[in-house]
Amino acid sequence: MIPTPDLSHLRKADYERIYEPAEDTFILLDALEQDAESLRASAPRVCLEIGSGSGCVSTFLGALLGSSGALYLCTDINPHAARCTRLTGSQNKISLDPLIGSLAAPLRHRLTRAVDVLIFNPPYVPTEEDEAAGAQVDAGITGAWAGGARGMLVTDALLEQVETLLSPHGRFYLVAVRQNDIPAIEARMRDRHGLDSAVVLQRRAGGEHLFILRIARRPPV
Amino acid sequence: MVRLITHNLLACHAKGCTTNNFPLQIKDAQLALREAEFNPDFLRGFIPRIEWAALVSAARQLGDESLPNEVPEMIDDDFLRGLHHVLLEIHIDEGAMVCPNCGHVYPISSGIPNMLLAEHEIG
């Protein structure tokens, strides 16, 4: 069993600026751990987490795959999150490479079909569209959860890029809630991008029904 | 940490900047060397994803002349150890990366690159 990363270096003041790991984080860790064997067997070299926040998830992935076994790139639009990501990595002796950026923007040119493990715990909470768009511009803590109509404002943008980012054996883990319309996400990835989706874990926590989707290329026939 | 492994994967993504936007030129770099665990399997797996000429020129910009101009046919332990150092142990803590095409400046502060664009610069 992989322990939950040590986050004792993060303070209350940090959690006023970045998202504090919660049930949605922990179900993602559980899904990764559930896939530990197949993840290790696929020998990933390039891992990319979008919106890494505290760095908890990439640190956990690094512990699962080995710090020196892969490159762990982490993007976040929030500069404080990028700093916290790096600190959480070093606190747990995992080498993470954070950068301040939106989605995969500065990496897309070079990481075409090159990402082995892509991870996104997006701002999935349905809100007013304006609130979500403004939160992305402000790049603060509201941007970590406010998702616009159906909670899909930011996720929609990434879903369009997943197929070009994933390596031949790459996989994408996405956190979603029921209001995001899981069947619609699955249909869209299948029909528009030729990718298979599977719900690998789901759980009710508080008022949320959380899902982890694993999206990958179809095995060649 | 901006290590050369990361630098090798970053391109300018400003609006309309789609050619000659890689590699970014390193400016005013303050360097630090930090030891990393040597993992030959990782390096062998990662070599096909490296833009070799960009890595060699970035290393030379930082004063490291150790890499050969081409990936050797015989990949031995000595070569991997040299590559390990250049890719993973040289850190740019402060400085900037500048697009060779449009001149956009991406600052590096406390080892973290800021790759964000202003809204009007997003393609």
Task: List domains and CATH numbers for chain B.
Answer: 2-121 (2.20.25.10)
In 3D, which of B88, B92, B76 has the Cα closest to residue B24?
B92
Query: Could you report the per-residue pLDDT of A25-61, keeping only the tens digit for each?
Result: 999 999 999 999 999 999 999 999 999 999 999 999 9
| Contact across the interface for A68 and B38, Cβ inside 8 Å | yes
- The answer to whether residue A5 sits within a structural domain is no
Query: CB neighbours (10 Å) of residue A107?
Result: 24
Judge whether A53 lies within some domain. yes
Partner residue facing A114 (CB), from B6, B49, B122: B49
Terminal-to-terminal C-alpha distance of chain B: 26
Quickly state the pLDDT bin for A72 (edges 50, 70, 90): very high
Read off the pLDDT of each residue in A49-75 and give the average, rounded to a whole number.
98
Q: Tokens 């060649």: give the residue.
A: A220
Give the residue on A whose Cα is nearest the Cα of B12: A106
Q: What is the DSSP letter of B26?
A: E
Calculate mean pLDDT across residues A103-108.
97
What does each C-alpha distance from A52 to A85, A185, B33 come to in angstroms? 7, 22, 25
Compute the distance between CA of residue B120 and CA of residue B123 in angstroms, rounded to an integer: 8
| Backbone torsions φ then ψ of A92, nearest 5 degrees | -110, 15
Instruction: With a cut of 90, say whether residue B118 has pLDDT above it.
Output: no
Please, are residues B112 and A83 in contact by the beta-carbon 8 Å criterion? yes
- Cα–Cα distance between A6 and A89 in angstroms, integer? 9
Q: How many domains does chain A have?
A: 1
Is the Cβ of A51 closer than 8 Å to some Cβ of chain B? Answer: no
Q: Check residue B1 and give its pLDDT.
A: 75
What distances in angstroms separate CA A201 from CA A115, A174, A180, B56, one per listed residue?
A: 22, 11, 16, 44
A110: nearest CA in chain B?
B9
Q: Do A69 and B51 touch (CB under 8 A)?
A: no
pLDDT at residue number A218: 86
Best of B20, B115, B117 to substitute, by most chain A Cβ atoms within 10 angstroms, is B115
Cα–Cα distances (Å) from A69 to A40, A94, A102, B34, B61, in that order, read: 10, 11, 26, 17, 27
Q: How far apart are CA A26 and CA A15, in angstroms?
A: 17
In this prediction the ipTM stands at: 0.96
Q: Does a structural domain hold residue A1?
A: no
Question: Is there a cis peptide before residue A98, judged by omega within 30 degrees of 0?
Answer: no
Between CA B89 and CA B116 the distance in angstroms is: 25
Closest alpha carbon to B29 in B90, B103, B93: B93
The distance of B15 to chain A (nearest Cα, Å) reads 11
pLDDT band with cut points at 50, 70 and 90 for residue A220: low
Task: Give me the pLDDT at residue B55, please.
Answer: 98
Closest Cβ opposite residue B10 in set A98, A106, A137? A106
Biggest distance spanned by C-alpha atoms of chain A = 52
Q: What are B91-113's pLDDT values in tens digits?
A: 999 999 999 999 999 999 999 99
Residue A118 is encoded by which pair of tokens? 């892509």
Neighbours of B119 (CB within 10 A): 7
Tokens 């690159």 locate to B113
Tell me if A7 is assigned to some domain. no
Backbone angles phi, psi at A26, to 5 degrees: -70, -35
Contact A202, A165 (CB under 8 A): no
**Average predicted confidence (pLDDT) for chain B:** 96
B41: contact with A, CB 8 A cutoff: yes
pLDDT at residue B121, rounded to an integer:
82
In this structure, what CATH number is given to the domain that contains residue A189?
3.40.50.150
Does residue A160 fall inside a structural domain? yes
Tell whether the model's pLDDT for residue A77 goes beyond 70.
yes
* A97 part of contact set with chain B, CB < 8 Å: yes
Contact assessment for residue A181 and residue A165, using Cβ atoms and an 8 Å cutoff: no
Q: What is the pLDDT of residues A139-160, one digit of tens each?
A: 999 999 999 999 999 999 999 9
- % of chain B exceeding 70 in pLDDT: 99
Size of interface A-B (CB pairs under 8 A): 91
pLDDT digits (tens, 9 = 90+) for B45-103: 999 999 999 999 999 999 999 999 999 999 999 999 999 999 999 999 999 999 999 99
Query: A83, B39: Cβ pair inside 8 Å?
Result: no
- Classify the C-alpha dihedral A94-B95-A18-A186 as positive or negative: negative
Residues A185 and A211: beta-carbon distance below 8 Å: no
Output the pLDDT for position A221: 62
3-class secondary structure, B102: coil
Q: What domain range includes position A168?
A: 12-217
- CB-nearest to A106 from B46, B111, B115 is B115
Locus of tokens 């493990």 = A117
Q: Is the pLDDT of residue A65 over 90?
A: yes
A93 band by pLDDT with thresholds 50, 70 and 90: very high
Residue A75 counted as domain residue: yes
- At B10-36, the pLDDT tens digits run 999 999 999 999 999 999 999 999 999
pLDDT at A201: 98
Nearest to B49 by CA among B71, B31, B68: B71
